[in-house]
Amino acid sequence: MKATITDVAKRAGVSMKTVSRVLNNEPNVAEKTRERVKAIALELRYSPNLAARGLATSKSYLVALMYDNPSPNYIAHMQRGAIDACREVGYHLVVEPLSLGSAKTQDEKAQAIRTVLDQLPVDGVILTPPLCDSATVLETLSELRIDCVRVAPKNGGLQPFVAMDDEAAAYQMTQYLIQQGHKRIGFVKGHVGHSATVWRYQGYMKAMEEAGVEASPKIVAQGDFSFESGATAARDLLSLDAKERPTAIFASNDDMAAAIFSVAGQFGIDVPRELSVCGFDDTPLAQVIFPALTTVRQPIYKMGYEAARQLVASKKVGLEPEQILDFEIMIRDSVASPAS
Amino acid sequence: MKATITDVAKRAGVSMKTVSRVLNNEPNVAEKTRERVKAIALELRYSPNLAARGLATSKSYLVALMYDNPSPNYIAHMQRGAIDACREVGYHLVVEPLSLGSAKTQDEKAQAIRTVLDQLPVDGVILTPPLCDSATVLETLSELRIDCVRVAPKNGGLQPFVAMDDEAAAYQMTQYLIQQGHKRIGFVKGHVGHSATVWRYQGYMKAMEEAGVEASPKIVAQGDFSFESGATAARDLLSLDAKERPTAIFASNDDMAAAIFSVAGQFGIDVPRELSVCGFDDTPLAQVIFPALTTVRQPIYKMGYEAARQLVASKKVGLEPEQILDFEIMIRDSVASPAS
DNA sequence: GTGATGATTGACAGCGCTGTCACGTAGACT
DNA sequence: AGTCTACGTGACAGCGCTGTCAATCATCAC
């Protein structure tokens, strides 16, 4: 039914091995032979049987994307990027959610990973936050001798990673707000313990300090990335006296920014005329609220792409163990100059 | 390094074949032998090599989820369900996005599928809309002799499918609105050509007619599931005279419902006091807008789960070729009784 | 006691591919 | 001319598992 390597070999009048060499781009095949075999393979619509190949090479031509519950948006884009990179070299992507609830012991975590990976011996795994920051996960993978690439990890380490510069993004966004003429720029922090929380806040502070604008603690609120926490923060910030009340608020993510919209509406404050708001992440939400939200777009697709590429690229190619990707400031309609 | 079936066989003092029988739950193994082998397999942390097994059985123990660009939320939940079903029986899920842009010819479409499936001979594929409605896709799959299960297809067919009853959901939601005391209930239709558009509209009409409430064409607007189209529709509906203006609007999806929120805000109309709004889909958006949106939750996870289960369940088990899953009306804060 | 029946087990081949190694040939060198 | 290297090629084993089929054993009806 389906063509095998033997069919191609017979037709081309060469040995299986030679066909195999051509298919794998190995050297030491006469150019003429190579062309002929390629043509015939195409004609027969031959494509190698991954199981057989895997058995012979003890490789699986599979890459796993492991994640523990990030947002649908995040994982969908990431996986799309990873898949595209895989396809370029004949790999496929399997997705493996892993629930490492905090209740579990380290041993149980390691066991969970083993269970998944023992069955399916993938050639590499992509680790997204928070998995990429778990020492247990990293150790287990290294015991299993499985390559991995981490996405946006908290800190560097032995394994390669791809990330974006959250601090620089927050810095630029804050600068943009300042350029628009804002002086009292509020900030809503993210979830304590999440690395991005710190970076984003630092970027904000840096821009404020450099511009000589005071970032009074009064206008910096603690959030936790949830809509609810954003609403609470917004109520605090917007209850301030007219003299103190911020003319712009920079939320550490889009959900909280959306909450600020809602609260502003309840307070009868018009966005962006009386209050500018910006967020972080560029979730789909950003474009389905009014006014459209100015926010930071993370290169999620690209991170997935690069992570997978590191894993599947032939080892000869020089790859950087640490890749910092560019973000993009999406300027939309939620920021305006302050009413003077 | 990693234990093989031979290791287990030696240790247990039986043949490889017997171990194989135990592992695959085949009959005709003495209970005592079975126990011993199982114990030893566990002790050695043995797990079969999928590539080898695949080569021998010409099965891959892989299921593919094919999709063409549904929302991140949709695919994330669906794949989670599918993965959970796969794991129960030692299968894994590979994700295969397929861009079948309308520009392509049928042949090119077929080719695209073949390219993906020739390489990775999966045991079954889950087809989400709009792929599940493409005759070309279905035919190609059947030529390749690959099982498939369709998710929410437009119409029945030879292949099994799982779906939910969109019409019933819209019907119930409309009834709920009527129960709250609304008489002038507007409706915003979805994208023309999308099957759900028709069903949802029919459910709405049915409830209106049954209750003897007039569904004037004036208060039914055409949308296309996008935020923008929802905003346009809302502007039309809310510009009507006080006597004609709907006291409630049922949008065919959440994005359009969110747009209605925005426009209402611009018109100075309070939701839900002066205008009730409800949506469809229960996207994450529904909980991050204010007031929280009353909407219909689709059993997306369950559809993924059931679809995968059909594919991986041993054929002996009687499976229904057509499964209609339950939806859920999520009552939140965007619907109230009309101000009389 | 005898043959028939069914349960339990193992030997062996082979799935489709690649790694190893050996062979032949042609040009480069002493 | 003789030796050496490099290249192009193919024969063959074997990756880890399961399907086939035959062998063995216990059991049962007569």
Distance B45 CA to C17 C1' (A): 27
Q: Match 């950087």 to its residue by tokens.
A: A320
| Predicted local confidence at residue A195, as pLDDT | 82
Q: Which of B90, B231, B261 sits opposite A119 (nearest CB)?
A: B90
Q: Do B121 and A262 touch (CB under 8 A)?
A: no
Nucleotides of C under 7 A from a protein CB: 7-12, 14-20
Q: What is the mean pLDDT of residues A177-186?
A: 96
Residues A277 and A293: beta-carbon distance below 8 Å: yes
Residue of A nearest to B78 (CA): A72
Per CB-CB distance under 8 Å, the chain A contacts of B52 are 51, 55
Q: Which nucleotide is nearest to B20 (CA to C1')?
A: D18
- Report which of A283, A274, A291 is spatially closest to residue A334, judged by C-alpha positions: A291
Q: How does pLDDT run across B88-137, given as a tens digit for each residue?
A: 888 899 999 988 766 578 888 888 888 788 778 889 999 998 888 889 99
Per CB-CB distance under 8 Å, the chain B contacts of A285 are 284-285, 288
Lowest mean per-residue pLDDT among A154-163, A227-236, B75-84: A154-163
At A297 the three-state DSSP class reads strand
Residues A64 and A49: beta-carbon distance below 8 Å: no
Q: How does pLDDT run across A273-317, given as a tens digit for each residue?
A: 999 999 999 998 998 888 999 999 999 999 999 999 999 886 555
* Statement: the CB of A146 is under 7 Å from strand D: no
How many residues are there in chain A?
A: 340
| Predicted local confidence at residue A317, as pLDDT | 55
How many residues are there in chain B?
A: 340
Distance B316 CA to C25 C1' (A): 60
Residue of B nearest to A79 (CA): B95
Distance CA B130, CA B107 (A): 17
Distance A30 CA to C25 C1' (A): 13
- Phi, psi of A78, deg, nearest 5: -60, -45
Distance CA A197, CA B220 (A): 45
Angle at the Cα of B312 (from B310 to B316), degrees rounded to 5? 75
| Predicted local confidence at residue A175, as pLDDT | 98
Mean pLDDT computed over every residue of chain A? 91
Confidence class for position A248, pLDDT limits 50, 70, 90: very high
- Report which of A242, A254, A178 is spatially closest to residue A214, judged by C-alpha positions: A178
| Predicted local confidence at residue B231, as pLDDT | 95
| Predicted local confidence at residue B317, as pLDDT | 54
| Predicted local confidence at residue B98, as pLDDT | 87
Distance B51 CA to D23 C1' (A): 31
Distance CA A200, CA A207 (A): 11
Distance A234 CA to D26 C1' (A): 81
Distance CA B251, CA B125 (A): 32
* Statement: the CB of B55 is under 7 Å from strand D: yes
Using the C1' atom of nucleotide C14, identify the protein residue whose alpha carbon is closest. B56
Q: Do B92 and A93 touch (CB under 8 A)?
A: no
User: Is A210's pLDDT higher than 80?
Assistant: yes
Q: Do A259 and B288 touch (CB under 8 A)?
A: yes
* Residue numbers of chain B with a pLDDT score lower than 70: 1, 101-103, 314-319, 340
| Predicted local confidence at residue A1, as pLDDT | 62
- Phi, psi of B267, deg, nearest 5: -85, -5
| Predicted local confidence at residue A333, as pLDDT | 95
Prediction pTM value: 0.88
Q: Do A290 and B54 touch (CB under 8 A)?
A: no
* Statement: the CB of A58 is under 7 Å from strand D: yes
* Statement: the CB of A33 is under 7 Å from strand D: yes
Q: Match 């030679």 to its residue by tokens.
A: A18
User: Is A254's pLDDT higher than 80?
Assistant: yes
User: Is A318's pLDDT higher than 60?
Assistant: no
Distance B114 CA to C5 C1' (A): 50
Q: Which amino acid is at A121?
A: P
Q: Match 């939910």 to its residue by tokens.
A: B164
CA distance A213 to chain B (A): 32
Render B67-90 in DSSP notation, one character per residue.
ESS--HHHHHHHHHHHHHHHHHTT
| Predicted local confidence at residue A240, as pLDDT | 95
CA distance B54 to chain A (A): 6
Contacts of A124 (CB under 8 A, 6+ apart): A63, A64, A146, A147, A148, A149, A311, A312
Q: Which of B55, B119, B265 sits opposite A52 (nearest CB)?
A: B55
CA distance B47 to chain A (A): 6
Q: The tokens of A37 are what?
A: 């075999």
Q: Do A97 and B83 touch (CB under 8 A)?
A: yes
Q: How does pLDDT run across B59-70, given as a tens digit for each residue?
A: 888 999 999 877
Confidence class for position A270, pLDDT limits 50, 70, 90: very high
Chain B residues 14-53 with Cβ under 7 Å of strand D are 16-17, 20, 23-24, 46, 48-49, 52-53
| Predicted local confidence at residue A252, as pLDDT | 97
3-state secondary structure A162-214: EEECHHHHHHHHHHHHHHCCCCCEEEECCCCCCHHHHHHHHHHHHHHHHCCCC
Distance A17 CA to D9 C1' (A): 9
CA distance A210 to chain B (A): 34
Distance CA B286, CA B292 (A): 6
| Predicted local confidence at residue B319, as pLDDT | 64
| Predicted local confidence at residue B313, as pLDDT | 81
Q: Which of A77, A265, A289 sits opposite B258 (nearest CB)?
A: A289
Q: Which nucleotide is nearest to A58 (CA to C1')?
A: D15
How far lies A112's CA from each of A128, A129, A136, B239, B275, in Å? 16, 17, 11, 58, 50
CA distance A297 to chain B (A): 16
Q: Which of A60, A95, A261 sits opposite B51 (nearest CB)?
A: A60
**Peptide bond between residue A321 and the one before it cis (omega within 30 degrees of 0):** no
Nucleotides of D under 7 A from a protein CB: 7-12, 14-20
| Predicted local confidence at residue A103, as pLDDT | 58
How many CA atoms within 13 Å lie on the side-chain side of B326?
Answer: 3
Distance CA B83, CA B63 (A): 9
Distance B130 CA to C17 C1' (A): 37
Confidence class for position A98, pLDDT limits 50, 70, 90: confident
Per CB-CB distance under 8 Å, the chain B contacts of A55 are 49, 51-52, 55
How far lies A51's CA from each of A10, A54, A62, B59, B93, in Å? 22, 5, 11, 9, 16
Per CB-CB distance under 8 Å, the chain B contacts of A95 are 79, 83, 93-95
Q: Do B60 and A75 touch (CB under 8 A)?
A: no
